[in-house]
Amino acid sequence: MRIVNPSFGREAPGQERAATNAVDWHKDPIILFANSKPNAKELLEGVRDKMAAYRTTDNIDYIHKDSPAQPAPDSMYDELAGKYRAALIAIAD
């Protein structure tokens, strides 16, 4: 899983790399990841509901870390990276 912060630009990868690493937003498994702050779950569930207009959502799951004040354990990131091709993250205030 490639983690990208959309607020920063990045150069486009080469064609071969783009084809092998690209996320297929129509079918790949996606994790909705929240930091446990108020309304993060509702925000991400709303995004999932909107995605239902163009894809099935049976492989879009939700998870949150235990506390907004503490980082998620490394094992959580490793597990999620092994199961999902993309993550939508609600972490800001």
Tell me whether residue 20 is in a domain. no
This prediction's pTM = 0.73
- 21, 2 Cβ separation under 8 angstroms: yes
The total number of structural domains in the chain stands at 1
Residue 64 has pLDDT above 70, yes or no: yes
Q: pLDDT digit string (tens) for 11-41? A: 566 655 555 667 888 899 999 998 888 888 8
- 30, 60 Cβ separation under 8 angstroms: yes
**Sign for the pseudo-dihedral over CA of 21, 57, 73, 42:** positive
- The whole-number pLDDT of residue 71 equals 85
Residue 10 has pLDDT above 60, yes or no: no
Joined together, the tokens standing for residue 10 give 């990045």
- The whole-number pLDDT of residue 21 equals 67
Tell me whether residue 31 is in a domain. yes
Tell me whether residue 41 is in a domain. yes
Tell me whether residue 16 is in a domain. no
Query: What pairs with residue 61 in β-bridges?
Result: 31
Tell me whether residue 36 is in a domain. yes
